[in-house]
């Protein structure tokens, strides 16, 4: 059993994303004549401020991410992306090319007996996996005993708008502690190429938060004969979100 760290590698990104976004976006305004050698960054800043986020979808980036299987399950929930992932159906970790062992990623914060228990559980899982293969099971059957923290490699390709969404959700304090550093590494690598999109505070969507007074005003306005119409309440709150 081998313990490995997570990692993030940028495989490909749209060349000169600022210029590509500007070239695509100016079609909307038929303002191609305003393109200069210095206009792209200013244009991208303008469309971001206006919320014209569909334009940034023209730029794309691909990352190779090494994480555990549990984190990868969260990553692939982002539907507007393409994925290619290391397959436990076809990879036989008892072979020489894998060092005849499984690789795992240690969860954060393990100390003392808790870490000893985790290490022992990983060894039991590996022993059971290798034993099942030796008894004639195929890798796709033997994988049933592999742990959630099994290391996996996954290539994720998405447009910039989806990366903005991914970063917004996965760097949140509410996100899993093992996905947050991955999302932040992705943000930093994208910011090297396109800081206007991935560095400024307005880059990522901020959650809508209503004050107690605002909520009370909505509920009061929708009271009919002392009762609240839930459909009307939902519609009004949605409209308020768009105005914020």
Catalytic residue annotation: 170
Distance CA 178, CA 36 (A): 43
Q: In terms of Cα–Cα distance, which of 31, 228, 1, 13 is closest to 130?
A: 1
What does the DSSP assignment read for 122-170?
HHHHHHHHHHHHHTT--HHHHGGG--TTBEEEEEEEEEHHHHHHHHHHH
- CA–centroid distance for 71 within its chain: 10
Structure tokens at 172: 């949140």
């Amino acid at each position: 059993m081998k313990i490995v760290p997570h990692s993030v590698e940028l495989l490909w990104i749209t060349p000169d994303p600022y210029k590509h976004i500007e070239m695509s976006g100016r079609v909307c305004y038929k303002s191609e004549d305003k393109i200069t050698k210095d206009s792209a960054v200013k244009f991208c800043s303008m469309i971001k401020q206006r919320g014209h986020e569909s334009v940034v979808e023209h730029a794309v980036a691909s990352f190779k991410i090494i994480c555990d299987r549990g984190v990868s399950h969260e990553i692939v929930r982002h539907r507007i992306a393409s994925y290619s992932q290391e397959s436990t159906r076809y990879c036989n970790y008892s072979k020489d090319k894998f060092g005849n062992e499984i690789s795992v990623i240690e969860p954060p914060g393990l100390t003392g007996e808790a870490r000893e228990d985790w290490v022992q559980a990983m060894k039991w899982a590996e022993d059971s996996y290798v034993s099942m293969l030796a008894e004639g099971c195929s890798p796709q059957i033997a994988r049933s005993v592999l742990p959630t923290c099994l290391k996996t490699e996954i290539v994720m390709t998405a447009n910039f708008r989806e990366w903005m969404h991914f970063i917004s959700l996965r760097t949140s304090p509410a996100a899993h502690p093992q996905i947050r550093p991955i999302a932040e590494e992705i943000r930093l690598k994208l910011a090297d190429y396109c800081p206007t999109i991935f560095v400024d505070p307005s880059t990522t969507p901020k959650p809508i938060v209503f004050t107690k007074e605002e909520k009370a005003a909505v509920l009061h306005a929708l009271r009919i004969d002392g009762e609240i119409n839930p459909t009307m309440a939902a519609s009004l709150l949605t409209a308020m979100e768009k105005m914020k």
